[in-house]
Amino acid sequence: MSNEAGNLEPRDLYPDYAVPIVRMEGDRRILATARWGMPSSRKAIFDKASARADKLRAKGKDVDFDELLRMEPDSGTTNVRNTASSHWKPWLKPENRCLVPFTAFSEPGRSAEGKYQPIWFKLAVDDPEPLAFFAGIWLEGWTGVRKIKTGLETCDLTAFLTTEPNAEVGAVHPKAMPVILTEPDELDTWMTATWDIAKELQRPLEDGRLVRTKR
């Protein structure tokens, strides 16, 4: 594997920041980085721009809707659940699939006082920081607006797939969990197989394979 990401320091990762990914370039695996958050749907962006235009018109301002739409901020979509959606289909080909390495991940929980408190999970093995991977997709050279203050940007983007939760994650977040890959044959299948085979990996990790951990 070739490293284009440099020396990645241990740290927590957040949406709209650079995260490590493993992508394919020909028959080589490349360790790189991409910004977390794939493009939102055209309808979502159109609806947001329309709402913004309506507010401007209500204030008596002229609106160039085409320009407003072009510059409408899109903070990105961090995960992918409905892979049957026409929005995601162009990026489910092997050349747009990637692996997102991690040692632990969090789901939103609550403390006894009802305050937000992330609940962290890792693989249930002796290694204190075991390596596993989310099944992800990526997009090279997207151009658009993430934040109004930064304007148009060109960057690589990524997001990971989710599925129904297993027992451990479901106790905290009953709606979804990331698609986690742990075996070499799973990694190879996700990166190279046709979609009718690769889609079978969009399933929860078996019950008992995860434990809670402290950060």
CATH of the domain at 32: 3.90.1680.20
Inform me whether the pLDDT recorded for 9 exceeds 90.
no
The range of the structural domain enclosing residue 147 comes to 2-8+17-36+75-213
At residue 86, φ and ψ (nearest 5 deg) are -65, -25
pTM of the predicted model, to two decimals?
0.91
Inform me whether the pLDDT recorded for 29 exceeds 80.
yes
The number of CA neighbours under 13 Å toward the Cβ of 215 is 15
State the Cα–Cα distance between residues 19 and 179, nearest whole angstrom. Answer: 17
State the Cα–Cα distance between residues 168 and 107, nearest whole angstrom. Answer: 11
Verify that 114 and 50 share a domain, yes or no: no
Note the pLDDT tens digit of each residue in 109-154.
Answer: 888 788 889 999 999 999 999 999 999 999 999 999 999 899 999 9
User: What percent of the chain stands above pLDDT 90?
Assistant: 87
pLDDT level of residue 45 (50, 70, 90 thresholds): very high
- Tell me, what amino acid is at 27? D
